[in-house]
């Protein structure tokens, strides 16, 4: 196995964690899946001409967009579950907070981006943390953001019941600072990001079944070599005039 030189997690553990994440990814799209909600060939025509793409590229982009919608939660899995390899009391419980360390009285909710929570969700999370402080007066609660506006470890200030609220043990933290807290290495998150391309390449190279399978083009052109014609027939086969395309 390649040495990823991370230091804070073993090569075997990070490989298996990435492999599990890749396995959970949506990696297949068929024509039936592609057209589940009826793809708009008029939009794809505009996309192709306005952005200077081939119709094949416009279809490829639409395939990727559909696949990508399914994968957001998989990245959440990756961010959360890496901490189960940390040891030293760090756990990923089945319920409660996303990450916990009961020995250190640290309780964490993870969010992918700083702007993914609306006001109601923010308030609910903050009240959950307030409740934890009432149950455990030694607790510190963190809202950790994978993609934050800046590297930070700040008091979380919020408006709750129309009043400003803050507590020095309820904090907002960027992912790099949280990695430093957990693994004791200020550059741990940076090291992981730099190693990820190699790890993912190794996983996919060594596990051929994890590669993308896209049969959309093959199925579209099975009866019509012209992709755009095939798209219009897919969406508008019962519309007036479009039956003429079957003979072209």
Residue 227's pLDDT band, with cuts at 50, 70 and 90, is confident
Q: What is the model's pTM? A: 0.81
Q: Does residue 5 form part of some domain?
A: no
146 lies in the same domain as 48: no
Percent of the chain with pLDDT over 90: 55
Q: Closest Cα to residue 24, out of 74, 69, 76, 59?
A: 74
88 lies in the same domain as 166: yes
176 lies in the same domain as 235: no
Which tokens in the block code for residue 83?
A: 């901490």
Helix residue ranges, H only, 2-152: 11-24, 31-34, 41-50, 55-69, 72-81, 119-135
Q: Does residue 227 form part of some domain?
A: yes
**Residue 78 contacts residue 146 (beta carbons within 8 Å):** no
Look at residues 153, 177, 192 and tell me which one is the last residue of a structural domain: 192
**Residue 233 contacts residue 241 (beta carbons within 8 Å):** no
Residue burial 151-186, b: 16+ Cβ < 10 Å; e: rest = eeeeebebeeeeeeeebebbbbbbbbbbbbbbbeee
Spell out the long-range contacts of 234-239 with Cβ–Cβ below 8 A and sequence spacing 24 or more: 234/31, 234/35, 234/38, 234/39, 234/41, 235/35, 235/38, 235/39, 235/40, 235/41, 236/41
Q: Closest Cα to residue 104, out of 89, 86, 122?
A: 89
SS3 state at 20:
helix
Find tokens 């009961």 and name the residue. 102
Compute the distance between CA of residue 180 and CA of residue 8 in angstroms, rounded to an integer. Answer: 10
Please compute, for residue 82, the number of CA atoms within 13 A of its CA located in the half-sphere on the CB side: 26
Mean pLDDT along residues 88-111: 96
Is residue 5's pLDDT more than 80? yes
| Domain containing residue 131 | 84-192
Q: Closest Cα to residue 82, out of 140, 16, 26, 176?
A: 16
Q: Does residue 128 form part of some domain?
A: yes
Average pLDDT value over all residues in the chain: 90
Q: Point out which residues pair with 147 in neighbouring strands.
A: 113
Residue 115's pLDDT band, with cuts at 50, 70 and 90, is low
Compute the distance between CA of residue 220 and CA of residue 110 in angstroms, rounded to an integer. Answer: 41
Q: Does residue 20 form part of some domain?
A: no
Is residue 97's pLDDT more than 90? yes
Residue 25's pLDDT band, with cuts at 50, 70 and 90, is confident
pLDDT in tens, 138-195: 999 999 999 999 999 999 999 888 889 899 999 999 999 999 999 999 999 999 999 9
| Total structural domains within the chain | 2
Q: Closest Cα to residue 57, out of 202, 187, 217?
A: 217
Q: Does residue 197 form part of some domain?
A: no
Q: Does residue 206 form part of some domain?
A: no
- Which has more pLDDT, 36 or 48? 48
SS3 state at 163:
strand
């Amino acid at each position: 196995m390649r040495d990823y030189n991370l230091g804070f997690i073993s090569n075997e553990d990070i490989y298996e964690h990435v492999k599990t994440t890749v396995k959970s990814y949506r990696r297949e799209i068929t024509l039936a899946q592609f057209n589940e909600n009826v793809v708009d060939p008029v939009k794809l025509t505009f996309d192709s001409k306005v952005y200077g793409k081939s119709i094949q590229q416009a279809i490829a982009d639409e395939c990727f967009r559909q696949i990508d919608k399914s994968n957001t939660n998989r990245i959440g899995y990756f961010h959360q579950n890496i901490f189960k390899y940390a040891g030293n009391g760090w756990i990923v419980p089945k319920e409660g907070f996303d990450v916990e360390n009961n020995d250190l009285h640290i309780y964490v909710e993870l969010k992918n981006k700083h702007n993914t929570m609306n006001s109601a969700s923010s308030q609910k999370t903050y009240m959950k943390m307030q409740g934890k402080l009432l149950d455990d007066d030694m607790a510190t609660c963190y809202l950790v953001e994978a993609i934050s506006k800046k590297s930070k470890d700040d008091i979380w200030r919020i408006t709750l019941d129309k009043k400003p609220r803050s507590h020095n043990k309820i904090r907002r933290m960027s992912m790099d600072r949280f990695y430093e807290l957990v693994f004791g290495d200020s550059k741990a998150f940076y090291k992981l990001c730099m190693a990820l391309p190699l790890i993912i390449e190794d996983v996919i190279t060594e596990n051929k079944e994890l590669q993308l399978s896209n049969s959309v083009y093959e199925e579209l052109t099975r009866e019509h070599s012209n992709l755009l014609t095939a798209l219009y027939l897919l969406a508008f086969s019962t519309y007036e005039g479009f039956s003429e395309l079957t003979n072209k």
